[in-house]
């Protein structure tokens, strides 16, 4: 391009303007042909491409960031919800843990109390067991001496030995040996069938109501006597008389024989001779007879109690009283009365006087062990 002429100062005088010169304008094609312009355009294009690429990347990044932010926000919300749930659950767990701790403390205190109680029990267990065994053996010894209860004493000794065997301590061997000796003594005693004797007494008691008494005797009816008494035979015809019987004589003889027989039977019923050693037995009224039977039953019951208690004196006394009453008030010719008397004699033949041993060995062994320091 043409350079413009420098400006000059204008004066007040008028200067004629120069004639305009023709100007040449540069076109785009001329500009593009310049290397600097080309480079600039290329750079601009590269910058535009870079800006577009950067803008698109930023857009994608914004979208991804928005998505990630949304996901992060959702995750944060879920995390907050989970945290709240965990916090609530932790609170519940804390409450439960506190309750469990309180229960555990109670259980521990109870366990401590139980341990202390167990220690106290373990210390006094042997003493209590020996005291119980002593009480049982003392009661069994009293029953053995008073009532002759051998079976009860054997059961008491077996229970005491079983209790000592559970502890399994060598200190109790001496007590168990004493119990074994007392057991052998009781087993060596002669056996008495107490149950069988008691059954026999009960049988006699049931027969008392059926035994006939002397005051109960009733005379037999004439018809029974006529049946039991044989009819007399007809008198034989004398020798030399014709064999042809006389019907009128025969008829009269039969009537006379029948009438005289009936008359004799009536006379025999009016008068009867019997030998009775105790006349008052015949005069018992029905009320007195009832009380007599009941008294015999009571005597037999007392004899049964004396048998169970091994009281031989009372046993024999009651049986003798019953025997005397049977002889005095009852018909001894009856088979039932004779059977009852025979059974009573068999009962009297049993010996109840047996010297019962004591359980002194076992009791002394227990008391000696308890007296040790």
Which pLDDT score is estimated for 222?
46
Which pLDDT score is estimated for 281?
66
Q: Let me know: does 361 contact 182? Beta carbons within 8 Å.
A: yes
Tens of pLDDT, residue by residue over 114-146, are 887 776 666 567 777 788 888 888 888 887 777
| CATH assignment of the domain containing 363 | 1.20.120
Whether 199 is covered by a domain: the verdict is: yes
Across the chain, mean pLDDT equals 76
Q: Tell me which residue of 310, 367, 301 sits closest to 150, measured CA to CA.
A: 310
Note whether 343 and 282 are same-domain residues. yes
Note whether 135 and 207 are same-domain residues. no
Q: Tell me which residue of 283, 367, 357, 297 sits closest to 326, measured CA to CA.
A: 297
Note whether 202 and 301 are same-domain residues. yes
| 2 confidence band (pLDDT: 50, 70, 90) | very low
The residue assigned the tokens 């690429």 is 53
Note whether 211 and 294 are same-domain residues. yes
Note whether 171 and 208 are same-domain residues. no
Which of 27-36, 323-332, 339-348 shows the lowest per-residue confidence on average (mean pLDDT)? 27-36
Tens of pLDDT, residue by residue over 352-371, are 666 677 788 888 888 887 77
Note whether 164 and 178 are same-domain residues. yes
| pLDDT at 165 exceeding the cut of 50 | yes
Which pLDDT score is estimated for 294?
93
Whether 213 is covered by a domain: the verdict is: yes
Question: Which is more confident, 274 or 77?
Answer: 77
The residue assigned the tokens 């928005």 is 66
Note whether 288 and 161 are same-domain residues. no
Note whether 198 and 183 are same-domain residues. no
Which pLDDT score is estimated for 225?
42
Q: Is 330 helix (H, G, I), strand (E, B) or coil?
A: strand
Spatial neighbors of 140 by CB under 8 A, at least 6 apart, are 149, 152, 153, 155, 156, 157, 359
- Report the number of distinct structural domains present in the chain: 2
Q: Cα separation of 177 and 228, whole Å?
A: 76
Whether 327 is covered by a domain: the verdict is: yes
Which pLDDT score is estimated for 99?
87
Q: Tell me which residue of 255, 248, 250, 252 sits closest to 237, measured CA to CA.
A: 250
Whether 54 is covered by a domain: the verdict is: no
Which pLDDT score is estimated for 220?
44
Whether 118 is covered by a domain: the verdict is: no
Whether 16 is covered by a domain: the verdict is: no
| pLDDT at 55 exceeding the cut of 90 | no
Whether 164 is covered by a domain: the verdict is: yes
Note whether 135 and 199 are same-domain residues. no
| pLDDT at 7 exceeding the cut of 50 | no
Domain residues for the domain of 161 are: 124-189+357-371
- This prediction has a pTM of 0.43
* pLDDT (average), residues 24-46: 70
* pLDDT (average), residues 13-39: 57
Tens of pLDDT, residue by residue over 180-192, are 888 888 887 766 6
Note whether 171 and 199 are same-domain residues. no
Whether 110 is covered by a domain: the verdict is: no
Question: Which is more confident, 37 or 136?
Answer: 136
Q: Is 359 helix (H, G, I), strand (E, B) or coil?
A: coil
| 295 confidence band (pLDDT: 50, 70, 90) | very high
Question: Which is more confident, 159 or 16?
Answer: 159
| 70 Ramachandran zone, left/alpha/beta (phi>0; psi -120 to 50) | alpha
* pLDDT (average), residues 99-122: 81
Q: Cα separation of 197 and 235, whole Å?
A: 61
Note whether 214 and 279 are same-domain residues. yes
Note whether 285 and 364 are same-domain residues. no
Tens of pLDDT, residue by residue over 207-256, are 998 888 887 655 444 444 444 444 444 444 444 444 445 677 787 777 78
């Amino acid at each position: 391009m043409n350079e413009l002429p420098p400006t000059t100062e204008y004066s007040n005088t008028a200067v004629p303007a120069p004639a305009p010169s023709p100007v040449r304008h540069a076109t785009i094609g001329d500009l593009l042909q310049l290397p600097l312009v080309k480079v600039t355009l290329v750079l601009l294009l590269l910058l535009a491409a870079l800006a577009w690429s950067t803008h698109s990347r930023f857009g994608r990044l914004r979208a991804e960031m928005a998505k990630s932010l949304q996901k992060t926000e959702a995750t944060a919300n879920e995390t907050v919800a989970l945290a709240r749930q965990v916090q609530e659950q932790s609170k519940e767990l804390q409450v439960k843990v506190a309750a469990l701790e309180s229960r555990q403390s109670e259980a521990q205190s109870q366990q401590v109390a139980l341990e202390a109680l167990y220690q106290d029990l373990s210390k006094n267990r042997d003493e209590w067991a020996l005291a119980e065994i002593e009480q049982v053996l003392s009661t069994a010894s009293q029953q053995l001496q008073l009532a002759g209860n051998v079976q009860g004493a054997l059961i008491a000794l077996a229970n005491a030995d079983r209790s000592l065997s559970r502890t399994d301590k060598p200190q109790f061997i001496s007590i168990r040996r004493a119990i074994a000796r007392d057991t052998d003594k009781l087993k060596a005693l002669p056996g008495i069938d107490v149950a069988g004797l008691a059954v026999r007494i009960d049988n006699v008691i049931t027969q008392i109501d059926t035994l006939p008494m002397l005051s109960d005797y009733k005379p037999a009816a004439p018809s029974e006597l006529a049946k039991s008494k044989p009819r007399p035979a007809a008198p034989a015809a004398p020798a030399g008389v014709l064999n042809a019987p006389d019907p009128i004589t025969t008829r009269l003889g039969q009537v006379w024989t029948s009438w005289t027989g009936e008359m004799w039977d009536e006379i025999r019923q009016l008068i009867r001779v019997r030998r009775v050693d105790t006349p008052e037995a015949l005069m018992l009224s029905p009320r007195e007879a009832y009380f007599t039977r009941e008294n015999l039953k009571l005597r037999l019951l007392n004899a049964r109690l004396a048998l169970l208690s091994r009281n031989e004196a009372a046993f024999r006394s009651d049986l003798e009283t019953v025997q005397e009453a049977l002889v005095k008030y009852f018909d001894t010719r009856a088979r039932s009365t004779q059977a009852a008397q025979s059974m009573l004699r068999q009962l009297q033949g049993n010996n109840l006087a047996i010297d019962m041993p004591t359980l002194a060995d076992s009791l002394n062994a227990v008391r000696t062990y308890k007296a040790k320091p």
